[in-house]
Amino acid sequence: MDFPSTQFVPSRIMGTYQPIHQIGMWGENFKSIGNPSISASVIVEVDNKLENESETASHEMPAPSCKHDQEASKPFDKIQRRLAQNREAARKSRLRKKAYVQQLESSRLKLMQLEKELEQAREQGLYIGGGLEAGHLGFSGAVSPGIAVFEMEYKHWMQVQNRQLGELRTALNAQISDIELRIVVENGMSHYFELFRMKSTVAKADVFYVMSGTWKTSAERFFSWIGGFRPSELLKVLVAQLDPLTDQQIFEVCNLKQSCQQAEDALSQGMEKLQETVSATLAAGQLGQGTYFPQVAMAMEKLEALVCFVNQADHLRQETLQQMSHILTTRQAARGLLALGEYIQRLQDLSTLWATHPREPA
């Protein structure tokens, strides 16, 4: 570097340039997450150095401008600019440091939360922990059989579902007879009824599992109503795909939609009553005494009713599909099943896209 010839300036300029170089170094450390403690100490050093430099510089500043006239005014301006740049750089550096530390903090909290959830999931036997961790946590490896069976069966169910959707597409494009198309439609309907049976079995083992929708993707869960899709929503999606419908069909579908909504309403209110009942039972007596087993036992008894609600909701779904297949022609029913299947696929793709979509750090 070339420096002006005056005595004072070089040392100050030397002093001011070094911190910028060090800030560059810290930038590198920022990228490597491995040694936050080291970069933190570098930051502190840099900050102190900068603060010292700008202080000493400002004290010494007036002197040269008095002693040296025009020659010194140009480097004087340069010095001022460089110092201002350094102060700015230091400020930005401090902000970056703050952001980095905040990011570390939130990641730490997230990690703690994930570890807690993992522990809970293992305790509930939802899955067998992988390798070393399982042994380390003393996990016995027992998995809830009902849930394990369901997850296996559901995976297979989805494969069959996708195959059937392909068959529907082919059948609709080919010129097959109504009778043959009817068989494809019946297979599709039976396949959904099979899912409801599977859900009923696992609901007896663990109704919360069914209610939570863990076995589905996140976007599907978003639309969940008592452990599955809402029949009236389903009708809304279907009707738009089924043009043209006859006037009679439109009338019947409207009635079906209204009946669905009324039934859903009634079940939803029943669920609210169940929540109130369980809550009241659980909170009975004085909270804070420390002994509460009777309340918990009674609340559990009340909670058994949740299985009935899940079964009723699935029954409603099944009846909705049945009624639609009565109202529609075979061809329309085939298109409806295909539309429904593809809608669910889109929901699943949305979930995947959402999970992999990069987001700004907090």
Partner 1 sequence: MDKLMRLASGKDVVVFSKSSCCLCYAITILFQELGVTSTVHEIDQDPEGREIEKTLMRLGCNAPVPAIFVGGRLVGSTNEVMSLHLSGGLIPMLKPYQTWC
Distance of closest approach, residue 346 Cβ to partner 1, in angstroms: 26
Place of tokens 């559901």: 154
Give residues in contact with partner 1 (CB under 8 A). Answer: 252, 255-256, 259-260, 262-263, 265-267, 269-271, 273-274, 277, 302, 305, 308-309, 312, 315-316, 319-320, 323
Strand, coil or helix: what is 302? Answer: helix
Cα separation values, 63 from 9, 10, 73, 116, Å: 11, 15, 12, 63
Distance of closest approach, residue 306 Cβ to partner 1, in angstroms: 9
Q: What is the largest CA-CA distance in the chain?
A: 106
User: Which residue's CB is nearer to partner 1, number 280 or number 287?
Assistant: 280
User: Which residue's CB is nearer to partner 1, number 118 or number 298?
Assistant: 298
Distance of closest approach, residue 206 Cβ to partner 1, in angstroms: 20
User: Which residue's CB is nearer to partner 1, number 23 or number 235?
Assistant: 235
User: Which residue's CB is nearer to partner 1, number 58 or number 258?
Assistant: 258
203, 195, 229: which is closest to 316 by C-alpha?
Answer: 229
Q: What is the DSSP string of 234-263?
A: HHHHHHHHS----HHHHHHHHHHHHHHHHH
User: Which residue's CB is nearer to partner 1, number 260 or number 338?
Assistant: 260
Burial class (CB in 10 A: 0-12, 13-18, 19+), 94: middle
User: Which residue's CB is nearer to partner 1, number 235 or number 347?
Assistant: 235
Distance of closest approach, residue 309 Cβ to partner 1, in angstroms: 7
Kindly state the DSSP code that residue 284 receives in the 8-state scheme.
-
Distance of closest approach, residue 120 Cβ to partner 1, in angstroms: 28
Buried b (16+ CB within 10 A) or exposed e, 138-159: eeeeebbeebbebbebbeebee
User: Which residue's CB is nearer to partner 1, number 35 or number 262?
Assistant: 262
Distance of closest approach, residue 276 Cβ to partner 1, in angstroms: 9
Distance of closest approach, residue 200 Cβ to partner 1, in angstroms: 12
Cα separation values, 111 from 114, 118, 141, 247, Å: 5, 10, 23, 58
Q: Rounded distance, CA 273 to CA 49, Å?
A: 66
Q: Rounded distance, CA 336 to CA 334, Å?
A: 5
